[in-house]
């Protein structure tokens, strides 16, 4: 059992008496203080503190009242902050919390200001609030500021008000013996919560333009950015430090920010770590490490915002890049039977200017792998030039340049050509595997072998189909030691030699080997005219003329297939005319019927009789006589 001595009990009674007396005196003081401080003084001090903490002029719409529990404070009620240019800032209630010791001494000193349910309404095109926050940040003796459940809205000229940001909760605290500030902000934007913090160690130096230590973070669901370094405001913002950013899905971040991603797929996980330097309106990211959709590159970026459009310049190097997340890069439609008819949208090209250089040890484009790639992308005034200075692919060496630009908005120009996009392509591929190359580029699977092709074309239209319809330019193809898929010329000619009439049906099937192939095509209004197309092989030779419709992906060609005479053979060489017509994926290859009949011993007399009768009929018609009649024809009855 605990025993308490007389001295201990006496000390406890004395302490209790002192505390009771102090509490009584405090209650009396709290009851008397409101009577000692005039209402006018409360109004003046509270308005001064509110103006000092917000940097705005203040209109107190009600009568302030002092409340001592749970802590001494002045309740101002509804407050308005007059703003120019038709903007407005009102708060449903403002509370200024007072220093208790100073209040007991008869002085009113404000520790912090709480602005409850403020609403800032913006008008006009600029939507920039006319708030004077710089004096608040620069001063070290101003009360701290709290904002509870604020809202920012925009009002149109017709009076329609739209909420932009809601649920704003913010605090501005003086730290490091009032030399620095700590700002924390939480708000909801586009139905997503956003959190941001800012720490500046020396706010006076920062506002004067001298670099001061600064740390900043901003984040939302699935995305975060951080800065740690030094910064200054002065006449122009300056920053120098380390920055990191990451997002679970960059596409979701674009959608949330109201921006359109450059492609229909991809732009998933993203991370960036770099050194950032902001100076004279230019942002430089050096020693940057960028990871997007698993594609990692190292390099640097320079962003200039002082011109009419932001300019982004950069150089990156990567070990391996895969374009699979961004969809299959084909010009044909979903069934691969025709060109893509989807509308081309180049509106994103006007957002900024761009100058990027990329080098990669390997680039995967669908099933195609390019190695030792040196590429560039230059965007200026809405005109995009994509260039591959050099790359190894399809077993050979590639060079290409693609220019894309919106068609001119001039009505006269639009009247002469389709609106949408202008395209110019210059490409050269040397010693490539033609089967893979032509299939990947245009879905053409008829030629195998090693070859070289050059393409120089221009076109304009609303879609790839429209551009193909208006295409102008030329194409040259040379190949060696390959095959022409679709028919076996030597086999067919040998069959014709034995039984000519048996080869009158469709020739499709098999393939023809060639030692060399040369083709040259002139393209005008989406139609290619074959200026030269010759194939020479160990067993057969082919020469063709005619045209091909690029827009319709069809062929209309006429040619000769020749089979050299074998050594010691009794018969000579075989030379047979034929035609190639239909879609270039599955064309119909037909021998000339008249030539087949002429080669047939059984059908030749019939052909000669038909020719003779036709000649006789023509001669009788010229003499004015009647055409010959069948011997069995009866004379009409009288």
Of residues 512 and 467, which shows the higher confidence score? 467
Residue 374 is classified by DSSP as: E
Q: What is the pLDDT of residues 265-301, one digit of tens each?
A: 889 999 999 999 999 889 999 999 999 999 999 999 9
Report how far apart, in Å, the C-alpha atoms of 117 and of each of 75, 132, 166, 192 are.
Answer: 14, 20, 10, 19
What confidence tier does 204 reach under pLDDT thresholds 50, 70, 90? Answer: confident
Q: What is the DSSP secondary-structure string of 553-594?
A: TEEEEEEEEEEPPPTT-SS--EEEEEEEEEESSS-EEEE-HH
Instruction: Give yes or no for residue 19 having a pLDDT over 70.
Output: no
pTM over 0.95: no
β-pairing verdict for 353-365 and 311-322:
parallel
Residue 334 is classified by DSSP as: T
Q: List the structure tokens of 46.
A: 């509270």
Which residues on adjacent β-strands are paired with residue 385? 378, 403
> At 142, phi and psi to the nearest 5?
-85, 150
Residue 634 is classified by DSSP as: P
CA atoms within 13 A on the CB side of 136: 24
Instruction: Give yes or no for residue 570 having a pLDDT over 50.
Output: no
Mean pLDDT value of segment 416-424: 71
How far is residue 178's CA from residue 185's CA, in Å, rounded to a whole number?
Answer: 20
Instruction: Give yes or no for residue 77 having a pLDDT over 60.
Output: yes
Q: List the structure tokens of 341.
A: 């008819």
> At 334, phi and psi to the nearest 5?
-65, -35
* pLDDT attached to residue 585: 72
β-pairing verdict for 73-82 and 353-365:
unpaired
How far is residue 509's CA from residue 385's CA, in Å, rounded to a whole number?
Answer: 42
Average pLDDT value for the chain? 79
N-term to C-term CA, the chain: 160
How far is residue 300's CA from residue 284's CA, in Å, rounded to a whole number?
Answer: 7
* Closest listed residue to residue 46, CA positions, set 101, 105, 115: 115
Q: What is the DSSP secondary-structure string of 273-306?
A: EEEEEEETTEEEEEEEEEEETTEEEEEEEEEE-S
Is the link from the previous residue into 70 a cis peptide, with omega within 30 of 0? yes
Which residues on adjacent β-strands are paired with residue 484? 447, 512
* pLDDT attached to residue 257: 84
* Closest listed residue to residue 71, CA positions, set 49, 95, 53, 48: 95
What confidence tier does 540 reach under pLDDT thresholds 50, 70, 90? Answer: confident
Q: List the structure tokens of 603.
A: 């059908």
* Closest listed residue to residue 455, CA positions, set 478, 476, 472: 476
* Closest listed residue to residue 30, CA positions, set 70, 77, 75, 76: 70
Q: What is the pLDDT of residues 606-623, one digit of tens each?
A: 445 545 555 555 555 555
Instruction: List own/partner pairs for 523-527 with CB under 8 A and 24 or more apart.
Output: 523/457, 523/471, 523/472, 523/473, 523/474, 523/475, 523/550, 524/472, 525/469, 525/470, 525/471, 525/472, 526/459, 526/468, 526/469, 526/470, 526/471, 526/550, 526/551, 527/551
């Amino acid at each position: 059992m605990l025993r308490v001595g007389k001295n201990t009990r006496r000390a406890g009674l004395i302490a209790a008496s002192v505390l009771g007396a102090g509490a009584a005196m405090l209650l009396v003081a709290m009851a008397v203080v409101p009577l000692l401080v005039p209402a006018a003084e409360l109004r003046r001090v509270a308005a001064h503190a509110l103006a000092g903490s917000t940097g705005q002029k203040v209109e107190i719409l009600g009568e302030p009242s002092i409340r001592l529990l749970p802590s001494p404070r002045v309740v101002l009620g509804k407050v308005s902050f007059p703003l120019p240019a038709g903007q407005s800032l009102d708060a449903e209630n403002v509370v200024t919390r007072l220093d208790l010791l100073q209040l007991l001494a008869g002085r009113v000193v404000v520790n912090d200001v709480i602005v409850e349910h403020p609403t800032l309404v913006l008008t006009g095109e600029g939507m920039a609030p006319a708030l004077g926050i710089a004096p608040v940040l620069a001063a070290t003796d101003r009360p701290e500021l709290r904002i509870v459940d604020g809202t920012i809205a925009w009002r149109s000229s017709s009076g329609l008000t739209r909420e932009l940001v809601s649920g704003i909760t913010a605090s501005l605290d003086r730290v490091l013996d009032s030399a620095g500030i700590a700002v924390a902000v939480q708000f909801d934007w586009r139905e997503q919560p956003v959190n941001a913090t800012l720490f500046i160690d020396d706010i006076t130096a920062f506002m004067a333009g001298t670099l001061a230590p600064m740390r900043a973070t901003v984040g939302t669901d699935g995305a975060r950015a951080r800065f740690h370094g030094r910064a200054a405001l002065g006449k122009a913002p300056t920053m120098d430090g380390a920055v990191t950013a990451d997002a679970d899905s960059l596409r979701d971040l674009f959608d949330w920010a109201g921006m359109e991603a450059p492609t229909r797929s991809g732009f998933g996980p993203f991370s960036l770590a770099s050194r950032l330097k902001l100076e004279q309106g230019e942002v430089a990211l050096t020693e940057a490490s960028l990871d997007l959709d698993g594609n990692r590159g190292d390099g640097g970026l320079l962003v200039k915002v002082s011109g009419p459009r932001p300019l982004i310049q950069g150089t990156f190097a990567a070990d391996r890049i895969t374009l699979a997340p961004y969809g299959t890069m084909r010009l044909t439609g979903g069934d691969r039977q025709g060109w893509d008819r989807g509308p081309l949208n180049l509106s994103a090209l006007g957002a900024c200017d761009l100058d990027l250089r990329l080098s990669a040890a390997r680039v995967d484009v669908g099933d195609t792998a390019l190695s030792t790639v040196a590429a560039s992308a230059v965007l200026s005034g809405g005109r995009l030039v994509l260039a591959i200075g050099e790359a190894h692919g399809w077993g050979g060496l590639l060079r290409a340049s693609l220019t894309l630009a919106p068609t001119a908005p001039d009505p006269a120009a639009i009247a002469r050509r389709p609106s949408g996009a202008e395209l110019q392509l210059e490409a050269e591929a040397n010693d490539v595997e033609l089967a893979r190359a032509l299939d990947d580029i245009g879905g053409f699977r008829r030629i195998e072998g090693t070859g070289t092709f050059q393409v120089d074309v221009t076109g304009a239209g609303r879609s790839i189909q429209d551009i193909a319809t208006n295409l102008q330019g030329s194409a040259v193809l040379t190949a060696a030691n390959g095959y022409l898929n679709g028919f076996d010329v030597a086999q067919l000619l040998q069959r014709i030699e034995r039984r000519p009439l048996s080869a009158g049906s469709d020739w499709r099937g098999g393939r023809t080997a060639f030692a060399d192939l040369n083709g040259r095509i002139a393209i005008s209004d989406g139609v290619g005219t074959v200026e030269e197309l010759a194939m020479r092989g160990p067993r057969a030779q082919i020469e063709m003329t005619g045209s091909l419709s690029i827009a319709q992906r069809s062929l209309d060609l006429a040619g000769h297939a020749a089979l050299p005479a074998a050594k010691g053979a009794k018969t000579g060489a075989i030379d047979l005319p034929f035609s190639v017509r239909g879609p270039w994926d599955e064309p119909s290859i037909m021998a000339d019927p008249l030539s087949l009949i002429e080669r047939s011993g059984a059908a030749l007399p019939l052909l000669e009789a038909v020719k003779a009768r036709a000649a006789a009929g023509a001669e009788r018609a010229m003499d004015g006589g009647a055409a010959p009649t069948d011997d069995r024809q009866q004379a009409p009855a009288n």
